[in-house]
Amino acid sequence: MPIDVDELKLLHADGWSDADMAVRFDVTAPTVKRWRETLRLKRNAQRRIWTEDEVARIRTLAAQGKSYVAIGAAIGASADVIGGICRKHGIRPQPKYLKVSAQIYNRIEAMVREGLGPTAIASEVGLSPKAVSNRITYMRRCGRLPPAEVPHGARASVPQPVRDAGIEQAVRMRAVSEPGRGGGRHSRDGLIARLAHRHGEALVQEVSRIPPRKGAYRKLCAVADCHGISIKAVETVWHQVRA
């Protein structure tokens, strides 16, 4: 008999498909199907047999910080399949969206000053070129990097002012609307000055432009990563500026 019935039952209980059991018994899939139907066993979902070497490679890629999508691209499977394999074998890769730390921002800044482009930087820091380009644009906007050079002959776009209203103008307008507030130590003018002296004028400018709506925490985290300080300190500045 080409098929061991007891082993077939065990493999079927373990979730093996007809195609996988056909490879195991060195027969065709229809042969396995006939034996399975004779034994009154239901058809298992078709799946691929993952060898120990493939699981070890998935584990290695996960240890390197790769996401389900990146591992699937390297292995040749979908992210959902990789997620199922990881859950089955207790593998915990990095989440899809990695939080970029201040250290990575510093590395990106250093490599940009060396003249490297987003593609070359992406291979060094483990991010996609688009993610690196977005962070370079953010650092140019917040003043950590100089503005991008316009190629010769290209039409330069009109630069948008970073300080649309300006903290000083906002303070003057509030002083006009609230004449009871003086310019002393406990005034808003003095508070803004102290915050700018402690954390930098650029940070206070960025925080003052973040409105209290959905997505504000994500923007505050980006500001904290860009300036290399804690999110708690940025939140404190934000609440004080908006007071």
Q: Which residues of 24-34 are buried (b: 16+ CB within 10 A; e: fewer)?
A: bbeeeeeebbe
pLDDT confidence of residue 123: 81
pLDDT confidence of residue 185: 46
Q: What is the pLDDT of residues 91-133, one digit of tens each?
A: 876 554 445 577 888 889 899 988 888 888 888 887 788 888 8
pLDDT confidence of residue 153: 54
pLDDT confidence of residue 179: 46
pLDDT confidence of residue 124: 83
pLDDT confidence of residue 3: 81
Low-confidence ranges of the chain (pLDDT < 50): 1, 96-98, 156, 158-165, 175-176, 179-185
What pTM value is reported for the model? 0.30
Q: For residues 196 and 205, give the distance between their C-alpha atoms in angstroms, rounded to a whole number.
A: 9
Q: For residues 98 and 127, give the distance between their C-alpha atoms in angstroms, rounded to a whole number.
A: 9
Residue 15 near residue 47, CB atoms below 8 Å: yes
Q: What are the tokens at 82? A: 């990789």
Helices and strands (DSSP H and E) totals, the chain: 14, 0
Per-domain boundaries in the chain = 52-89, 102-139, 167-242
Closest CA to 70 of 17, 128, 30: 128
Q: What are the tokens at 179? A: 């004449």
pLDDT confidence of residue 98: 47
